[in-house]
Amino acid sequence: MYFCFVGSSKSIWWLAGWFPNSLDEQSGNFIGRHAAAMSVHQRAQPAGGRIRVFHFPVYRLWKDSVPRNVLEIPEVQITCTPVAQLPWGGGLFRALNYVYYCWVVGAALKAALASDGVPDGVHVHGGDKIARVIPALYKQFRQRGRGAVPLWYTEHWAIFNEVVSDGFGKRGAIFRRDYLRLWEKVTVAAPVSLSSQKSMHAYLGGAKPFVLFRNVVDTQLFRPRHADEEKDATMPFAFLHVSSLEPRKNVLGMLRSFAALKQKHPDWHMQFRIVGGGNELYLSQARTAALGLGLLHIFQPSVAFFGPREAADVAFQMQCADVFVLFSEMENAPCVIAEAHCCGLPVIASSVAGIPEMIQDNNGILVAPSDEVALTAAMEKAYLNHQAWNNADIAAEAANKYNPMAVAAVLDKSYKSLMEPCVE
């Protein structure tokens, strides 16, 4: 089997299951960072490939505004094709939505084939919904004499487990079939963690070659404090959490653990800061829980809620904190851990999925998921012994792993290994 570039043009289609759009600017922002990293790297390469990103945000007909692209990346063509969906439940409407999605996406990709020709490679980022159209797309490739186009597959969604409510084994037969058909076409898996790779193999079957494609961190933004930005000594010791606050993040468990720590050490000067919560319900539930635990005293609150924040504000909060905390029931390879480490923050996190690959004794503490007693003990240890961590070393090691050029170079090497020019 041979994979060849056409002449000197190297075109790679990225089919993004999620991507930032006007309805949700945080949707798939990690994929946007990957694309931006590849753009910088490819511009520095004389024979760099040309990436074209396709994303197909869905919206509820008559209820949502039509989504549009909100991200611009130099020299990366981004094609946003909104897909309307009927807003009602029931098997008939789900079937109609499924068929209509395939029709709209299929038509958009067919038009791209007509204008640009067959790409030299395809990279699926997040198989949700996009998996539906892969068989038909490769049929189009074969009809144009290019059926052996290599396909890379990166999954960011933590569904390959039975812990979360939407785990792969709990999904419908058609959903599972679509993923299995996608997996059949995969040439190289590009997981963001080794745990993700093992899980995909376990659920989808059949070992695939893989390349570890870590999440990207903007290391110009997420960096340690400068020497002239030293923390005010009068400020409390700050535990920080950043997330969507959805139930699997177990924010209520963190609050209970922190309340137990406060009860055990009422004289300790410390605060738990929570950033995020675009969903008002999740934010309200967290505030109500904090109030019930006595952590929102009117004169001296022990918990501060900052709501959703832009990346620059998140970086600032990390630079001002002492320890980052993530107590999720399930994750993949969380960007926030990489960002916290790049800021020099040690991280306390639950030992699930790819998190143990990111945290060792020199940069944090692992606890069992849902073990609130262990989390309280870990926060106590962090408060007492936080000076044992070398913040500068944590930041330097993380920056080497997650900076855009380092991450992009790994994927670029994998692309080139399968798409070198043909030699007669």
pLDDT of residue 340: 97
pLDDT of residue 1: 33
pLDDT higher than 70, residue 77:
yes
pLDDT higher than 60, residue 207:
yes
Average pLDDT over residues 356-381: 96
Q: Domains (ranges, CATH) in the chain?
A: 11-216+404-418 (3.40.50.2000), 227-402 (3.40.50.2000)
Angle 50-53-57 from CA coordinates, rounded to 5°: 175
Contact 321, 342 (CB under 8 A): no
Judged by average pLDDT, the poorest of 44-58, 340-354, 391-405 is: 44-58
pLDDT tens per residue, range 211-254: 999 999 999 999 998 766 666 667 889 999 999 888 889 999 99
pLDDT tens per residue, range 139-176: 999 999 887 899 999 988 778 887 777 888 889 999 99
pLDDT of residue 156: 82
pLDDT tens per residue, range 266-294: 999 999 999 987 778 888 888 888 888 88
pLDDT tens per residue, range 245-263: 888 899 999 999 999 999 9
pLDDT of residue 2: 35
pLDDT higher than 60, residue 3:
no
Average pLDDT over residues 30-36: 92
Judged by average pLDDT, the poorest of 37-46, 189-198, 376-385 is: 37-46
CA-closest candidate to residue 381, choices 392, 394, 399, 366: 366
Helical axes 372-385 vs 251-264, angle rounded to 10°: 60
pLDDT higher than 50, residue 424:
no
pLDDT of residue 228: 62
pTM (2 decimals)? Answer: 0.88
pLDDT of residue 317: 94
Contact 307, 338 (CB under 8 A): no
pLDDT of residue 196: 87
pLDDT of residue 230: 66
Sheet containing strand 270-275, strands side by side: 303-307, 270-275, 237-242, 323-326, 347-350, 364-367
Distance CA 367, CA 379 (A): 10
Torsion of CA 16, 21, 24, 26, to 10 degrees: 60
